[in-house]
Amino acid sequence: MDYKQQITSILIELFTNPKTTKIPDYFSSDYIANTSQKTYHGLKIVSQWMKNLNRFLTDLKIEKLEFVHESKDTVVWIRTIKGKMKATSHQNLKEGKVIKWEEMIVSKFKGSKIEEEWISSEFMGVLLSKSNKL
């Protein structure tokens, strides 16, 4: 399985089975996720990411997956995710509103597993934009 197939496969697994036990099959035990806010270490961040998405949204799906560049051990890709807002205690979020956002990811592989990623996401901006408020 090439790197693009691996990325596609784990995304399908995560979005159809958020409590999957297959994360160690795709990510290195020394996995690092770099975001604009923080750097995370370890596999737990992958399952935590899905848990957080499912806390705010239902009907989650990958609407588009685009591979931008691939080199010997690195893949640059963009995913477009879509979901429907759940009822929350946050009074400014409109229940039932469908939101869609893009995330750009640079995935570095070591052997057959993702070792490190740099992730840029529009999620919080889209979630909290004025158009999503009551």
Task: For the chain, state the CA radius of gyration.
Answer: 15
Q: Give backbone dihedrals phi and psi of 69, rounded to 5 degrees, phi first.
A: -155, 145
Question: What is the pTM for the complete model shown?
Answer: 0.88
How confident is the model at residue 97, as a pLDDT? 87
75-129 residue pLDDT tens: 999 999 999 998 876 666 678 889 999 999 999 999 999 999 999 999 888 877 7
Name all domains of the chain by residue range, CATH numbers in brackets. Answer: 3-132 (3.10.450.50)
Whether 53 has a pLDDT exceeding 60, the answer reads: yes
